[in-house]
Amino acid sequence: LKVSKALREDLLTSIPNLRAFAVSLAGNSERADDLVQETLMKAWAKFDTFQEGTNLRAWLFTILRNEFYSQVRKRGREVEDAEGTYAARLASQPSQIGYMDMSDFRQALAQLPPDQREALILVGASGFSYEEAAAICECAVGTIKSRVSRARTRLGELLSLETGESYGADPISASVITRTTA
């Protein structure tokens, strides 16, 4: 099986994104990197099924996500270590943005149901469109929208965000739009 140079380079540049997503799913960082490793190997083995020119990142995310949930099923465990999501990463993060403490935010994020957290991250941080996120999670677009919506509402409650603040330009959609049309 020949993998083109361009594809290899794309694979390499996808790794940071894959790691960030893996950490959001698996929490602890060792397990996240194992997931990424597994994903790269699986992707390599079935590159013949990938249509060059289509969205490689979405394809890889799908593999990673399937791998994660199949591990969860095999181990007979619920999605674990949500508390650890991004926890080991504090050193590389600002401790506070604006008035909100980063660790408060992280804890609130950890309290979300996994499906909601996942949808929020795919759309709000990974920069996928709702359609792409739906394809990755193998569910309806409406399901993703409702998960994101519920996730936002719940986070707002947990963090006691006041209404009426910072409506203006919403950087979530702004970043999503620039990224997907790029």
Partner 1 sequence: MVKSVRGSGGAKNKSKDKKMQGDTLGRGTIEGQPFPLEPIGKHLRALYNGVINEPVPHRFIELLEQLQRSSDQPGHSKTHKG
Question: Per-residue contact track with partner 1, 32 to 71, x per CB under 8 A?
Answer: -x--xx--xx--x---------------------------
For residue 48, give the DSSP letter: G
Spatial CA neighbour of 1 closest among 49, 47, 63, 52: 47
User: In whole angstroms, how far apart are CA 28 and each of 24, 83, 129?
Assistant: 9, 9, 27
Contacts (CB under 8 A) with partner 1, residues 152-171: 152-153, 155-156, 159, 161-168, 170-171
Alpha helices in 76-140 (DSSP H): 102-111, 114-124, 130-137
Least CB distance to partner 1 at residue 51 (A): 19
Q: 113 or 152: whose CB is closer to partner 1?
A: 152
Instruction: Please state the φ and ψ torsions of residue 127, each to the nearest 5 degrees.
Output: 85, 20
Least CB distance to partner 1 at residue 83 (A): 14
For the chain, first and last CA: distance in Å? Answer: 30
**142 makes contact with partner 1 (CB under 8 A):** no
Interacting residue with partner 1 among 56, 126, 135, 137 (CB under 8 A): 126
Asked whether the beta carbons of 111 and 157 are under 8 A apart, the reply is no
Distance CA 67, CA 37 (A): 11
Interacting residue with partner 1 among 46, 93, 114, 143 (CB under 8 A): 93
Residues forming contacts to partner 1 in the complex (CB under 8 A) are 1-3, 8, 11-12, 15-17, 19-20, 23-24, 33, 36-37, 40-41, 44, 86, 89, 92-94, 97-98, 100, 102, 105-106, 109, 120-121, 123-126, 129-131, 141, 145, 148-149, 152-153, 155-156, 159, 161-168, 170-173, 175-177, 180-181
